[in-house]
Amino acid sequence: MTTSESAARTPQQAARRPGRPSGSARGPEQRERLLDAALALFARQGIVDTTLGAIAREAGFTPAMMHYYFKTRDQLLDVLIDERFLPLRAALGGPFEANPDDPVAAITQLARRMVEVAQQHPWFPPLWVREVISEGGLLRQRMHERFGHAHHKASLEMIAKWQKEGRLNAELEPSLVFLTLLGLTILPLATSKMWRNDPVRRSLSPDDIARHAVALLVHGVGPQGAKK
């Protein structure tokens, strides 16, 4: 190619070289766009039914560009776990660490934190329902393969400890506490798009969901302030 031919190439043509970032400054931005696209598609249609090529198209890139950053879906999942899910997991664990002697405060704050995380990351509720708490979820399997059950086991032990100390209702089943919290917060948020034509629920906000979850957790279904 002559110098004049090279100069005549448009920026779009120059950017079409497959599989290579167009510049070191844009490389991180392109990689983040691919991660965002992967999360959006995984939440929308599931991990198993999402190819790397589809993720590239969702992000507006060529499959070669996707392959430049991520060679396999397993590699992509590991990056998503490290860079997107572990920070969220740490954030959700914060209330327990901050309130070791106050389980009501810890669980209440955790319910609110779940709603906050869902507001900040709209892909989180549908992806969690589809790939973590549902049978056969690929993301759950991958996380268990990498980290085991130690974190979950420690949380259950903390709940059982609070019960033995008389700080938490002894009739609660420890293994159902987190599933109950998810049901009160993440599940409504994951299905909120279905409420658009529901005249009763379509006006509910994430704050309403958090308020309802906390009220039900702390006061139950009896009248507020009722005495036994």
- How much is the pTM? 0.77
- pLDDT, tens digit (0-9, with 9 covering 90-100), for 129-183: 889 888 888 888 888 888 888 888 888 999 999 999 999 999 999 999 988 998 9
Task: Judge whether 12 lies within some domain.
Answer: no
Same domain, 23 and 135: no
- pLDDT, tens digit (0-9, with 9 covering 90-100), for 66-122: 999 999 999 999 999 999 998 988 888 889 889 999 999 999 999 999 999 998 999
Burial readout 198-210 (b: 16 or more C-beta within 10 A, e: otherwise):
eeeeeeeebeebb
Task: Judge whether 10 lies within some domain.
Answer: no
Same domain, 111 and 205: yes
Name the residue with higher pLDDT: 26 or 27. 27
Q: Is pLDDT above 90 for 55?
A: yes
Write out the two tokens for 26.
Answer: 């844009």
φ and ψ at 79, to 5 degrees? -65, -45
Q: What is the CATH number of the domain that holds 145?
A: 1.10.357.10
Same domain, 63 and 83: no
The residue to which tokens 């309802």 are assigned: 212
The residue to which tokens 């032990």 are assigned: 157
Q: Which residues contact 218 (CB under 8 A, 6 or more apart)?
A: 104, 108
Q: What is the pLDDT of residue 225?
A: 54
* Res. 16 pLDDT band, cuts 50 70 90: very low
Q: Which domain holds residue 29?
A: 18-71
Same domain, 66 and 101: no
Same domain, 121 and 195: yes
The residue to which tokens 């033995």 are assigned: 164
Q: What is the pLDDT of residue 224?
A: 63
Task: Judge whether 228 lies within some domain.
Answer: yes
Same domain, 108 and 66: no
Give the torsion sign (CA, 199, 204, 208, 212): positive
DSSP state of 100: T
Rounded Cα distance between 72 and 195, Å, is 37
Among the listed residues 135, 34, 16, 14, the one whose alpha carbon sits nearest the alpha carbon of residue 83: 34
Q: What is the pLDDT of residue 4?
A: 47
Question: Contact at 8 Å (CB) between 60 and 79?
Answer: no
Same domain, 58 and 92: no
Same domain, 49 and 84: no
Count of the separate structural domains present in the chain: 2
Q: Is pLDDT above 50 for 6?
A: no
Task: Judge whether 173 lies within some domain.
Answer: yes
Q: What is the pLDDT of residue 26?
A: 64
Same domain, 61 and 92: no
